[in-house]
């Protein structure tokens, strides 16, 4: 990817505007304030949470204590949830990205019977509320013996219609026909061509789709809620929700401070991934939006 805007930016660098920056800063305040709240409150004890101002630190700074408690509470189940989430993300989001890359490439570069129907069906099916399909899906998976296993989470995560769409638009531009033609002339088989030639060219788009899939899988809540009964297979979102609900049961311990600290720990890896991979997904997105 050439980064064309860089050229433009040089010519207007001197026009930076404090007023516009301040106005856009309001938006920044809006998006960051809740995150600041989360960080601040993760530093409070259960008691501190109850009697201190929400947007400032309480007397005792208990962040590290809270983190330690989060990881050890209830036999260290948080670590288990974290590992589960990683498993679902690696297999689910990874697999979804591969399927989307294959499918997007296929849609962009081949003409085949039923091609037009494919996207119509995909978009149409996405419109049906997933929540309401949960029971039929559950009953089906149950017949297949998949409920309460990691597969019940991973298999549905393998489908990312939006990822398919992105890869389609991306592959249309990123992989020139001439390159494919010459590979075919050389007698390369289609899958060889895909993995050796197309996939490297698709890298920025793939990273973008991968990140979106990672977010979707990492944040998955409803599907695990239906499919899993054993907390040993919970992902983080469901585990945090269970901790939050724990306050509402007879004999249950209120652990709002752990819910907040756990929430913070849940989003930190994602935010880190986004920051580290910024360069890739931003160019991927740019390329993806070329063609509409």
Interface positions, 59-98, toward other proteins (CB under 8 A):
none
Does residue 18 touch other proteins according to CB under 8 A? yes
Between residue 154 and residue 193, which ones bind other proteins under the rule CB under 8 A? 155-156, 158-159, 161-162, 164, 181, 190-191
Among the listed residues 58, 81, 266, 280, the single contact to other proteins using CB under 8 A: 266
- HEC profile for 118-184? HHHHHHHHHCCCHHHHHHHHHHHHHHCCCCCCCHHHHHHHCCCHHHHHHHHHHHHHHCCHHHHHHHH
Question: Taking Cα atoms as reference points, which of 37, 55, 58 lies closest to residue 47?
Answer: 58
Between residue 108 and residue 127, which ones bind other proteins under the rule CB under 8 A? 109-115, 118, 121-127
Segment contacting other proteins by CB under 8 A, of 13-21, 57-65, 199-207: 13-21
Check: CB of residue 217 under 8 Å from CB of residue 89: yes
Smallest separation (angstroms) from other proteins to the CB of 82: 13
Among the listed residues 183, 218, 258, 280, the single contact to other proteins using CB under 8 A: 218
User: Which residue lies nearer to other proteins by CB, 79 or 194?
Assistant: 194
Smallest separation (angstroms) from other proteins to the CB of 68: 19
Among the listed residues 57, 71, 73, 256, the single contact to other proteins using CB under 8 A: 256
Cβ count near 90 (within 10 Å): 13
Does residue 99 touch other proteins according to CB under 8 A? yes
Does residue 279 touch other proteins according to CB under 8 A? no
Using CB under 8 A as the binding criterion, the count of chain residues that bind other proteins stands at 130
Among the listed residues 178, 187, 230, 276, the single contact to other proteins using CB under 8 A: 230
Q: By CB neighbour count within 10 A (0-12 exposed, 13-18 middle, 19+ buried), where does 18 fall?
A: exposed
Does residue 229 touch other proteins according to CB under 8 A? yes
CA dist., res. 248 & res. 164, Å (int): 41
Does residue 203 touch other proteins according to CB under 8 A? no
Segment contacting other proteins by CB under 8 A, of 57-65, 199-207, 212-220: 212-220
Half-sphere exposure of 250 (CA within 13 A, CB side): 0
Among the listed residues 58, 82, 89, 107, the single contact to other proteins using CB under 8 A: 107
Among the listed residues 129, 178, 186, 187, the single contact to other proteins using CB under 8 A: 129
User: Which residue lies nearer to other proteins by CB, 13 or 187?
Assistant: 13
Question: Taking Cα atoms as reference points, which of 40, 67, 69 lies closest to residue 265?
Answer: 67
| DSSP label of 43 | T
Smallest separation (angstroms) from other proteins to the CB of 227: 10
Question: How far is it between the farthest Cα atoms of the chain?
Answer: 74
Q: How far is CA 140 from CA 131, 137, 250, in A?
A: 15, 5, 34
Which tokens hold the place of 97?
A: 């990205």
């Amino acid at each position: 990817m050439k980064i064309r805007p860089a050229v433009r930016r040089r010519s207007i660098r001197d026009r930076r505007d404090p007023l516009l920056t301040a106005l856009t800063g309001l938006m920044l305040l809006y998006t960051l304030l809740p995150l600041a709240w989360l960080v601040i409150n993760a530093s409070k004890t259960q008691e501190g949470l109850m009697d201190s101002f929400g947007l400032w630190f309480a007397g005792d700074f208990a962040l590290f204590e809270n983190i330690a408690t989060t990881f050890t509470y209830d036999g260290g189940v948080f670590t288990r949830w974290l590992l589960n989430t990683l498993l679902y993300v690696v297999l689910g989001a990874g697999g979804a990205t591969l399927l989307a890359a294959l499918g997007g490439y296929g849609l962009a570069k081949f003409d085949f019977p039923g091609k037009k129907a494919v996207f119509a069906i995909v978009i149409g099916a996405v419109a049906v509320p997933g929540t309401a399909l949960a029971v039929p899906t559950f009953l089906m998976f149950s017949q297949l013996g998949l409920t309460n296993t990691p597969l019940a989470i991973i298999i549905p995560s393998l489908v990312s219609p939006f990822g398919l769409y992105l890869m389609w638009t991306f592959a249309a531009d990123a992989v020139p026909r001439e390159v494919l033609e010459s590979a075919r002339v050389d007698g390369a088989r289609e899958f060889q061509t895909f993995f050796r030639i197309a996939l490297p060219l698709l890298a920025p788009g793939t990273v973008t789709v991968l990140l979106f899939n990672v977010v979707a899988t990492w944040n998955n809540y409803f599907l695990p809620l239906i499919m899993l009964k054993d907390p040993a297979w919970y992902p983080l979102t469901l585990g945090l929700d269970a901790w939050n609900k724990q306050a509402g049961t007879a004999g249950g311990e209120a652990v709002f401070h752990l819910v907040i600290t756990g929430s913070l720990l849940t989003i930190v890896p994602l935010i880190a991934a986004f920051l580290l991979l910024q360069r890739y997904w931003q160019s991927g997105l740019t390329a993806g939006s070329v063609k509409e």
